[in-house]
Amino acid sequence: MRFTITFPTHERQELVDITDRVRAIVSEHGAGRRLCALYAMGATAAIMIQENWDPNIPSDVIACLNRIVPKGIWLHDRVDGNGDAHIKAGIIGPSEVIPVDGSRLMLSTWQNVFFCEFDGPRARREVLVTLV
């Protein structure tokens, strides 16, 4: 069973909390399913499970990645200026798999699911949600 979550992003780099959208799909369609696979469409995007309590975490994640992978120094920047976005997306990765039990995501109290935008803003981003 596969679904698509679609949304815009508003910054060049941002973490967008998509947990409620994923939970709604799992709640409605997750009966008898054991896994929820999430996949970010796009070579400059990623999926991350991260703390949901401290609002500084998304900013800290982006600041850390900017220190590790600065903008403007990569060969790919000569093509379209987003070499850092591709590298950051590769480091974080395009997917996560979350166990499902009784139509419920098995995230801990402090975990949420974030879409990582590294080359925005974009009018349309997509995350595939596959229930197995």
- The H-assigned helical ranges of 13-111 are 19-29, 57-68, 77-80, 83-92
Is pTM, for the whole model, over 0.75? yes
How do residues 48-85 score in pLDDT, each as one tens digit? 999 999 999 999 999 999 999 999 999 999 999 999 99
Over residues 84-101, the mean pLDDT reads: 98
The total domain count for the chain is 1
Which CATH number goes with the domain that contains 72? 2.60.120.460
> Which residues lie across from 122 on neighbouring strands?
none
**CA–CA distances in Å: residue 60 to residues 47, 88, 91, 95, 124:** 16, 14, 16, 21, 25
Segments forming the whole domain that contains residue 31: 2-131
Phi first, then psi, for residue 63 (nearest 5°) are -60, -40
Please give the Cα distance from 107 to 89 (Å, whole number).
Answer: 22
How do residues 97-131 score in pLDDT, each as one tens digit? 999 999 999 999 999 999 999 999 999 999 999 99
